[in-house]
Amino acid sequence: MIERLSFGLATGEVLALVGRNGSGKTTLLRALALLVRPEAGAIRWQGVDVTADPETWRGRLAWLGHLEGLKGDLSVAENLRVAERLRGDASPDIGRVEAALAAFDLLGLADRPVRTLSAGQRRRAALTRVVLADAAVWLLDEPLNALDGPAQVAFRVALANHLAGGGLAIAATHADLGVAGGRTLELGRAG
């Protein structure tokens, strides 16, 4: 349970949620994504309670949970195209998709079914989906999990670009996100 929590973020900011396992990091992210309902309080975007128009709020979000949210029988590229269509883009820009795949070193794996990929490759594909969402707010649960060194660098570059473009991010993490000027919120200890 998280009690008496209040914070605000400006565009270009990242907030790292830190704390022991079970301290509420994932629960807070899920509440921000409206996947669970807070028992009390409000989540506001530019002063307006997001529950007044949840679909508009969800349209501003890119979510990365513990599970990658990818269909195993679809290829990496097919997963990305489906995600783009679900976000309302009936004809995704192929060049933009290829650039995102290249940024996460996935061009050579674009036609492979996700179920055949390693954990790190699946995580990179999920991060590519986040980047392509072009959402104002990134909600990331342990984004560096299963990533090797080069993939961590690719993530940090993508995050820095997102923030430089006026986006914001909130990430539950046990690792350094590697972005200058990031803020940290330590959640209480689990029992």
Q: Report pLDDT digits (tens) over 28-63.
A: 999 999 999 888 888 999 999 999 999 999 999 999
Determine phi and psi for 67, rounding to 5 degrees.
Answer: -90, 145
Q: Please determine, for residue 102, whether its predicted confidence score (pLDDT) is greater than 80.
A: yes
Question: Which pLDDT belongs to residue 121?
Answer: 98
75 CB neighbour count, 10 Å cutoff: 19
Question: Which pLDDT belongs to residue 41?
Answer: 86
Question: Which pLDDT belongs to residue 6?
Answer: 84
Find the helix or strand (DSSP H, E) in which 186 lies.
Answer: strand 183-186
What burial class does residue 126 get, using C-beta atoms within 10 Å of its C-beta: 0-12 exposed, 13-18 middle, 19+ buried? buried
Q: Confirm if 73 and 113 have CB atoms less than 8 A apart.
A: yes
pLDDT digit string, tens, across residues 112-163: 999 999 999 999 999 999 999 999 999 999 999 999 999 999 999 999 999 9
Question: Which pLDDT belongs to residue 5?
Answer: 83
Which domains can be identified in the chain, with CATH numbers?
14-186 (3.40.50.300)
Between β-strands 168-172 and 137-141, what pairing exists: parallel, antiparallel or unpaired? Answer: parallel
State the Cα–Cα distance between residues 68 and 85, nearest whole angstrom: 18
Q: Confirm if 21 and 15 have CB atoms less than 8 A apart.
A: no
pTM comes to 0.94
Q: How many helices and strands in the chain, by DSSP H and E?
A: 6, 7
Question: Which pLDDT belongs to residue 1?
Answer: 54
Core vs surface per residue 143-162: b (16+ CB within 10 A) or e: bbeebeeebbebbbebbeeb
DSSP state, residue 50: G
Residue given tokens 């390693």 in the structure block = 118
Q: Please determine, for residue 78, whether its predicted confidence score (pLDDT) is greater than 70.
A: yes
pLDDT digit string, tens, across residues 6-18: 889 999 999 999 9
pLDDT-derived band at 88 (thresholds 50, 70, 90) equals: confident
